[in-house]
Amino acid sequence: MRLRLIGWLVVAAVTPPGTAAAQTAPRTQAFLGGTLDLAYPFAGDGEPEVNRLIRGDNPFDNVRLRLFADVVINSRWTVFNQILIDPSSSMGLESFLRSYVRFDVFKKEKADLSLQAGVVPTPFGAYSPRAYSDRNPLVSDPLMYHYFTTLRSNQLPASNADLLRHRGQGQAADFTGFAGGGSPIKFSGMPMIYDPCWDVGVQALGSLGRLEYIFAVAQGTLSAPRFKAGDNNKGKQISGRLAFVPRPGLVFGASAARGPYLDSALRPSLPAGASADDYDQIIYGFDVEYGVRHLALHAELAKNRWQAPNITDGRGGPQDLKTLGAYVEARYTLRPGLFAAARYDRLDYGDIDDGTRTGRTVPWNFDVNLWEYGVGYFLTDRVIAKLVRQDYHSAGESGHQAFWAVQVSGSF
Amino acid sequence: MSQRAVAAAVLLAGIALAPAPATAGTLTGTVLTKPVARTKAPPRYYLGPYRSGRGPSVVEEGGPQDVVVFVEGVKGAFPPPVRHAQLVQKDERFIPHVLAVPIGSTVDFPNEDDFYHNVFSVVSGDRFDLGRYAKGKSAHQTLNKPGVVVVRCEIHSGMKAYILVVPNPLFAVPGADGAFSIPDVPEGTYLVKAWHPDYGYQERSVAVPAAGTASVSFAF
């Protein structure tokens, strides 16, 4: 069976791709381009810390340059490369590199299949294609795609009380972490899904009638992607998304992923007989997209749980750490070249026993919600100026932060 | 048909078939430019059959049919044409790549793809945004400012077309062989311009006779 599949793929690789056969076969050609974002946040009662990403960068940084170099080798093979240059980040450029190859197996009128391998796009939800500044009507990313919880892949909370003691600290760059063992390095926690960093893996994607699909195997997980070859545990994440397009402008998507997220180096700190591969991130979600005339709507909801060592329910049994993320985003063209956009975004954390043996339960992290809204104006067809306001509310001590910001984003 | 109606029909036919005024000549010429086969940039993200097309990955652009030749400085009033021009959205392209219309013209933008397009223009000329609409539907825009209108699709960033809004109906788009002809040009000396989307404008001063033909050539 496996040999037949390999043979079929080899035949597919050397034969013309269906409808594309009638076209002139393109010569190897490179497409260079990029986006340049200039931003300035007018920090009011708080810096835009809520938007800080793992590598110390931030979508509100003054200068961010993203370069693309896509190479069409022939009508079937394409290599995609992109890199983000942000002077505010202290990490090496290699950590901002995304590079993958796509092979178009076939393209028919009603169906197609492509394979991708390398540092591949996030195969969950519908936000990843809109994360670029020229496609994002606002400036930040939705919370569930970047906001850090306190949980880490390379460090363990010793107990419920240890986890609860650090509530709200995941977003801090100097998060000291837990007492349950693991890396002593100060670092951020894990988000539900970390789209700014892609994972090394392979993907099969395409369409069948009104269905679109993507299935992926990756070495990391959505919350702890591994952008370099070399896994931190023996398990792999399986993920996928199915979308149904009943008519143009309306898309319903459903995504799911499961995979071990803990670093194998934590084994000495794990309960007896347990390995890092025994603890999965399990996440599923739904997305909808609707567009009509001058209105575009996007909404997503994702329900996530991490199987976590040392976290117990009131009876001493294992307790998963649950998170619910959701956002609704609207963009409306007010007049030619001028649009308004708004996103309401929230993360709710599941309750766990507070460890006081009183039976009381509390959310394992502080719930947060965020409004971002503003207007954008096309200075030219390739340059957009945005004025946005962000209002962040946390149930924790950080309370409320709000600021205005401007961003001028050009694509070339 | 009454006698009066027959007489009116004959009169109208006579007007339509009558030769151009004796004080008008024809401007002919050629445009030299070679089309270039361009590979379309590959989509970075898979968008699905109902959001992106299966159109050709290689297109030819920049040939003589992408050039507009027009006459400037012609005196007189030129009412906008009643008939609408068309810029079709098909296979994730605008067809034609370059469209020329006299000032005041209305352009229809029919969508012939299975997915939405959102035609807009924010570069020079009239700014407009026609919103998203599906296959079989159309929207239109009247263009009242002379110059180059760069047309894009808000959903498909690779789609681009140009509309050149010219000051009068005395213009031509050459054929594939580069030949063009502009009839009924009143006698006089005019600035004749040719515009190419990649190379911009070229201009020549041309004396058009009261009858007969004047020639002019452009090479891009």
A193-210: burial string, b at 16+ Cβ within 10 Å, e else: bbbbbbbbbebbbbbeee
3 state DSSP class of A47: coil
Q: Which residue of A has its CA nearest to B46?
A: A206
Mean pLDDT within A104-121 = 90
Contact check, Cβ <8 Å, B131/A75? no
A391 membership: H or E segment, kind and range? strand A383-394
Our CA-based measurement puts residue B32 at a distance from the nearest CA of chain A, in whole angstroms, of 24
Which residue among B47, B56, B132 places its CB closest to the CB of A292?
B132
Q: Which residue has the higher pLDDT, B48 or B65?
A: B65
DSSP states of A17-29: -GGGGGSPPPPPE
* Contact (Cβ atoms closer than 8 angstroms) between residue B84 and residue B108: yes
- Looking at beta carbons, which residues of chain A come within 8 Å of B51? 245, 248, 251
Contact check, Cβ <8 Å, B57/A251? no
pLDDT tens digit sequence for A127-144: 998 999 999 999 999 999
Angle at B103 between CA B97 and CA B106, to 5 degrees: 65
Q: Which residue of B has its CA nearest to A205?
A: B46
Quick check: B128 contacting A, CB < 8 Å?
Answer: yes
Write out the two tokens for A110.
């009603």
Quick check: A75 contacting B, CB < 8 Å?
Answer: yes
* Contact (Cβ atoms closer than 8 angstroms) between residue A175 and residue A150: yes
- Looking at beta carbons, which residues of chain A come within 8 Å of B128? 336
B3 membership: H or E segment, kind and range? helix B3-17
Q: Which of A23, A106, A30, A17 is nearest to A67 (CA)?
A: A30
Contact check, Cβ <8 Å, B134/A296? no
Which residue among A23, A205, A294 places its CB closest to the CB of B58?
A23
Mean pLDDT of chain A: 88
What pLDDT shows up at residue A233? 85
Mean pLDDT within A78-106 = 87
What pLDDT shows up at residue A20? 39
Q: What letter represents residue A225's amino acid? A: P
Decide: residue B158, CB within 10 A, 0-12 exposed, 13-18 middle, 19+ buried.
middle
Interface test with A, best of B38, B40, B50, B52 (most A CBs within 10 A): B50
Write out the two tokens for B109.
């933008």
User: Would you put residue A153 in left (φ > 0), alpha (ψ -120 to 50) or beta?
Assistant: alpha
Alpha carbon distance A395, A403 (integer Å) = 18
Contact check, Cβ <8 Å, A212/B46? yes
Quick check: A378 contacting B, CB < 8 Å?
Answer: yes
What pLDDT shows up at residue B19? 43
- Looking at beta carbons, which residues of chain B come within 8 Å of A206? 46
Quick check: A335 contacting B, CB < 8 Å?
Answer: yes
What pLDDT shows up at residue B12? 42
* Contact (Cβ atoms closer than 8 angstroms) between residue A301 and residue A285: yes
Quick check: A34 contacting B, CB < 8 Å?
Answer: no
Q: Give residue for tokens 């969950």.
A: A124
Mean pLDDT within A301-328 = 94
Confidence label for A4 from pLDDT (cuts 50, 70 and 90): low
- The H-assigned helical ranges of A63-167 are 160-165
Q: What letter represents residue A385's amino acid? A: A
Mean pLDDT within B140-158 = 92
Going from the N-terminus, what domains does chain A have, and what CATH number goes with each? Answer: 2-411 (2.40.160.10)
Q: Which residue of A has its CA nearest to B135?
A: A248
Alpha carbon distance A304, A192 (integer Å) = 7
What pLDDT shows up at residue B38? 78
Contact check, Cβ <8 Å, A27/B51? no
Confidence label for A238 from pLDDT (cuts 50, 70 and 90): very high
Alpha carbon distance A195, A332 (integer Å) = 25
> Under 8 Å CB-to-CB from A363, ≥6 apart: which residues?
A167, A348, A349, A350, A351, A352, A395
Q: Give residue for tokens 């789209």.
A: A195
Q: A380 phi and psi, to 5 degrees?
A: -140, 180
Q: pTM for this structure?
A: 0.86
Mean pLDDT within B195-205 = 94
Omega within 30 of 0 (cis) for the link into A48: no
Q: What letter represents residue B27's amino acid? A: L
How do the domains of chain B map onto residue ranges?
24-219
Instruction: Choose the CATH number for B24-219 among 1.10.150.130, 2.60.40.420, 2.40.50.140, 2.60.40.10.
Output: 2.60.40.420
